[in-house]
Amino acid sequence: MNKQSTPPGVAPGTPPVLQLRGIGKFFPGVIANKDVDLDVWPGEIHALLGENGAGKSTLMNVVTGIYQPEEGEIILDGYGQTFTSPQEAIRAGIGMVHQHFKLVQAFTVAENIHLGWDEAPRIASPAVMEARTREISERFGFPVRPDARVCDLSAGEQQRVEILRVLARKARLLIMDEPTAVLTPEETGELFRALKAFRAQGNAVIIISHKLDEVMEISDRVSILRGGRKIGTFNTADCNPSMLAATMVGRDIVRRNMRARPEGAAPIAPDPVMQLRNVSVRDDRGVDTLRDVSLDLHGGEILGIAGVAGNGQRELTHVLTGLMARTSGEILLDGNLVERADPALFVQAGVGHIPEDRLRSALAPSLSVTTNMALREYPYPPIGTHGLYDAQAAGVLAGDIAELAQVTIPDFAMPIRNLSGGNQQRLVARREIRIASRVLVAAYPARGLDIGAIATMLGYLTDLRDQGVAVVFISEDLEDLLNVSDRIGVMFHGRLMSVIDAEAADMATIGLLMGGRDAADTQPGATQ
């Protein structure tokens, strides 16, 4: 077959670390992969791109032995291999870091690193494991605190532990499925530095990402999947983001200013639907996660919330949807004081919520697609009448949502976790938009979506705005925020730094605010 010449920098005659030949993987009603050929050479970072449901995660699960391919072969260092489990794959030097971390939350970092590891000492005291972990962490240049409990770590720190787990097992090929989706920009920078160091030792990386700028920055070559088939492999140096995007979706993606309202759109309502007045939240450990936040939500307006993740956005969404009780301050819905945090109350008031962590908080992964789609509307006709649950009506609803979300589902009775990450996200978004008659709180709704789907998602938000719904749009992507928001608030250390008109805002100002600088020093033309 297509015998490839060794790329520059690799000793002649060296075989690729990984070769895939004609891989095919089928699920009932879905061709997840078909005829996929892929070469990954030592010393390269190979990006894998594709729309939601294109088959990226499935392909990598095939490589790491989670799935068995129906067709094709996997060749490692020139030898055919069959893996029946991820353990076998890691023994052969292939390690994967999944988007949903698989760490034991209650264990320490050192315990997690040693869990299920052949080379872990048979009798290991915490001190021994921590010393080993420290040594490994220094060797690979991933700083971790060996004695910290995983549940106390940030997403970025947890990811470092996952990577170390893999590297400690002598991986030569590291596969990362959307690693940057949950990272702050600084954490992403650190990750990329580490990946480059790993590459410099003659190892290889496969990275899946929807963020084209990152792909341009980090990768040597890019392979693009569409509908389960590989479209091609390109040298990153010959690519640019728009060309990648067009190749990925098979058409051009137009980005337009979506702040302009069409004819007949609902105007911004003068009276706020929801108000926060000096709301603060203190967590169990006595840390103030939300400090003295006041804001008004008006129908027909999109309020963007910018800020580095972890600065109180989670708490803000939870307070706005009744999932978290405030420690002090007031919340008003339609001018009425909300006495207690009760999600049911907010649902009834027409508040939709696309949460940050869909899989954990908005879906029951083991239940069917239909059951999950009914989660918001089961108490109301046609699904719920006289205390009954009409499974057939729920099926109709699920069909409607899937159609609007442009997700094809072969079998509505299968567990929703079988859908691709992005498709789950699209379904949750559509489900929430349906019930958001007054307010939609969308936390990172574009996370995990492909570039075409992001444009569609932003379109959903502006549609809601035009119908007179108040939208809270939390994002890290300033471009997206500026594209659709009417006003933009910036969060820093639990404080809402300031809310500025999107018209007058520019990236630099917002960037300064995100770093905790006061509005007064940044506002152009501010006196004193």
Partner 1 sequence: MAARAFQRLPSAPAGRILVLRLVAIVLSLFIIAGVLALSGHSPVTLAELILRSTLGSRFGLEDLALFMCPLLLTGAAVTVCGTIGLWNIGAEGQFYAGAIAATGVALGLHGPAFVLLPVMTIAGILGGMAWITVPTLARAYAGVNEIITTLLLNFIASLLTYYLTTGPWRDRISGAQVSTQRLPVAIPEMWGIVHWGFPVAIVIVIALALVLSRTRWGYEIRIGGANPEAARYAGIPVRLRIISVMLLSGGLAGLAGMFEVAGTVHRLQGGMANNFGYLGIVVAVLARGSCLNVIPAALLMALILDSGIVMQTQQLSASVVLAITGLILFMIAIGDELAHYRPVASTTPKGKAS
Ligand X SMILES: Nc1ncnc2c1ncn2[C@@H]1O[C@H](COP(=O)(O)OP(=O)(O)OP(=O)(O)O)[C@@H](O)[C@H]1O
Q: Which residues bind partner 1 (CB under 8 A)?
A: 1, 3, 15, 19, 21, 68-70, 73-75, 78-82, 84-85, 88, 91-92, 322-323, 342-348, 353, 355, 360-367, 371, 374-376, 378-379, 384, 387-391, 415
With binding defined as CB under 6 A, does residue 230 bind ligand X?
A: no
With binding defined as CB under 6 A, does residue 215 bind ligand X?
A: no
Under 8 Å between Cβ of 459 and 258: yes
3-state secondary structure of 425: helix
Residue 32, contacted partner among ligand X, partner 1, Mg ion, none, CB below 5-8 A by kind: ligand X
With binding defined as CB under 6 A, does residue 452 bind ligand X?
A: no
Instruction: State the Cα–Cα distance between residues 254 and 419, nearest whole angstrom.
Output: 27
With binding defined as CB under 6 A, does residue 26 bind ligand X?
A: no
Instruction: State the Cα–Cα distance between residues 174 and 199, nearest whole angstrom.
Output: 10
- Stretch (H or E) spanning 85: none
Identify which of residues 453 and 500 has a Cβ nearer to Mg ion in the complex. 453
Under 8 Å between Cβ of 442 and 272: no
Residue 55, contacted partner among Mg ion, ligand X, partner 1, none, CB below 5-8 A by kind: ligand X
3-state secondary structure of 387: coil
Looking at this protein, which amino acid is placed at residue 132? R
Residue 54, contacted partner among Mg ion, partner 1, ligand X, none, CB below 5-8 A by kind: ligand X
- C-beta neighbour count of 139 within 10 angstroms: 11
With binding defined as CB under 6 A, does residue 423 bind ligand X?
A: yes
Summarize as ranges the residues that interact with Mg ion (CB under 5 A): 57, 420-421
Question: What backbone phi and psi angles, to 5 degrees, belong to 164?
Answer: -60, -40
HSE-CB for 443 with a 13 A CA cutoff: 22
CB of 80 to Mg ion, least distance (A): 26
CB of 55 to Mg ion, least distance (A): 9
Identify which of residues 328 and 366 has a Cβ nearer to partner 1 in the complex. 366
With binding defined as CB under 6 A, does residue 419 bind ligand X?
A: yes
CB of 88 to partner 1, least distance (A): 7
CB of 195 to ligand X, least distance (A): 20
Identify which of residues 16 and 468 has a Cβ nearer to partner 1 in the complex. 16
The closest of 110, 136, 113, 112 to 125, measured between CA atoms, is 110
With binding defined as CB under 6 A, does residue 355 bind ligand X?
A: no
Instruction: State the Cα–Cα distance between residues 12 and 15, nearest whole angstrom.
Output: 9
With binding defined as CB under 6 A, does residue 52 bind ligand X?
A: yes
Identify which of residues 186 and 380 has a Cβ nearer to partner 1 in the complex. 380
CB of 75 to partner 1, least distance (A): 4
Residue 344, contacted partner among Mg ion, ligand X, partner 1, none, CB below 5-8 A by kind: partner 1
Looking at this protein, which amino acid is placed at residue 308? V
The closest of 78, 107, 113, 111 to 92, measured between CA atoms, is 78
Residue 69, contacted partner among ligand X, partner 1, Mg ion, none, CB below 5-8 A by kind: partner 1
- C-beta neighbour count of 198 within 10 angstroms: 22
Whole-angstrom CA distances from 85 to 21, 74, 140, 372 are 20, 14, 25, 30
Under 8 Å between Cβ of 111 and 125: no
CB of 66 to ligand X, least distance (A): 10
Residues 6+ apart with CB under 8 A from 260: none
> E strands, 183-271, where?
204-208, 221-226, 229-235
CB of 302 to ligand X, least distance (A): 25
CB of 31 to Mg ion, least distance (A): 16
Identify which of residues 57 and 370 has a Cβ nearer to Mg ion in the complex. 57
- Stretch (H or E) spanning 526: none
With binding defined as CB under 6 A, does residue 56 bind ligand X?
A: yes
* Contact footprint for ligand X (CB under 6 A): 27, 30, 32, 50, 52-58, 418-423, 450
